[in-house]
Structure 1
């Protein structure tokens, strides 16, 4: 069910007015499915203070990919090696950077404070959940000093109470949806092939 949609004029930023759409959409969901815990998923274009605030004000959970800000990379580097646990995906996830499908990885999490460039009372305390995938081929290197060369890290922030693995699986559902949308845009989902024997 689509609860909120709209066309924007001109070359609009992906995350533009996200808080407005989130507030309206979550308001509708609250009316048609009251007392349900809602989780919103979004990519890094929507990782803004205004959007996160709109979601939390509506009583929903957020699960939003976060850019590789310095605070994020520092938090990832501080995660102890023993905290990483394996995860397998029921359906493979498309990895843009690798240009291929990923069916297993490792995940970990740490406490995180987002939007620290804002006033202290506007900081958002949440969880930073990170998925890491080993780099393959000639780009891979080894050693403690090459943490970000041996793995690709995909991080998101969330306020959910899901386990680390469940939070990652739920968030990765967003990537599956984006892949379907991409296929629809490029007509691949509508292509029919006929085989004649």
Structure 2
């Protein structure tokens, strides 16, 4: 039971209707004041009968049901989904011209990316490379050929603070095996930037019988090897499209390339993990200057 104020039951009913209206509270008062009307002049427009009377659609689930289902997945469930994706990609490539020329040459590119997410409770969302922004940091691998656009081979979700190369050796092995299932039976070349230059990634390529083209950073041993290259060993090359110079920002299209005569990568690791680059054996360590 509640008391009815001045104005009787009709006035109270009007006030209830105003409080439930699409413009309520102070906005409703401002609306009435601007138009010079009294309390009774503002009315909420009636909703269509279909909207008022429509109930839940039979068999329809709440929007949060799918999210609740996915949040219940464990790491094992995610690996099972990856396996399904690999098999599907292999079957699709067998029945459709997905990767023409894969029997001759195929490129497998791996990289990491940061995906911004919202909500503090989201699993794995952390402040990583970007200040004040919560992200996830997944690994991605694509397959392409000289005649085909890239196709996503596999994805590995990681938390926002994960290092770029975290889990990369196993991920590379999975991507190379996925390429074989997708019909890449010829030369497979894995390409990656300097974040993936480590003994584990290169060992995974060698175990799979794949070639690799990985950028390496200028550590002290690399610098010494580059300084030992004679000037007559540098060869002039021209880029098909101009690229910005890292130091000046100017567009350049000319550079020089040379092969380091002899170099042993990861010399501090075991002999099985070391990679030697002697000339003439198919493994070449190239350096650029421009």
Q: Compare relative contact order (CA 8 Å, sep 6+) and give the higher one, 1 or 2.
A: 1
- The TM-score, its normalising length taken from structure 1, stands at 0.63
CA distance in 2, matches of 1:15, 1:95: 26
1:38/1:101 Cα in 2 relative to 1: closer, same or farther (>3 Å)?
Answer: farther
Higher helix share: 1
Shift of 1:122: 2.2
**Partner Cα separation in structure 2 for residue 98 and residue 39 of structure 1:** 32
Structure 1: 5+ residue runs without aligned partners? Answer: 134-197
Shift of 1:33: 2.1
Match of 1:131 in 2: 288
2:195 maps to 1:41: no
What's the CA shift for 1:105? 0.2
Question: 1:96, CA displacement in angstroms?
Answer: 3.2
1:63 partnered with 2:220: no
1:25 maps to which residue?
175
User: In the aligned structure 1, how far is the partner of 2:163 from the partner of 2:235?
Assistant: 36
Counterparts of 1:1-197 in structure 2, within 5 Å, are 1-110=151-260, 111-126=262-277, 127-133=284-290
The DSSP-based 3-state class of the residue aligned with 2:187 is coil
- Which TM-score applies when normalising by structure 2? 0.44
Query: Which is greater in Rg?
Result: 2
Give the aligned length. 133
When residues 10 and 4 of structure 1 are mapped into structure 2, their CA distance, relative to the original with a 3 A threshold, is same
For 1:47 and 1:55, the matched residues in 2 are separated by 12
Report if aligned partners of 2:193, 2:215 keep a CA contact under 8 Å in 1.
yes
8 A contact 2:203–2:273 mirrored in 1: no
Which ranges of structure 2 fall in alignment gaps of 5 or more residues? 1-150, 278-283
**In 1, Cα distance between equivalents of 2:250 and 2:165:** 26
2:156 aligned counterpart, secondary structure: coil
1:5-46 deviation line (CA, Å, top 9, x unaligned): 122113111111111111111001112224211111111110
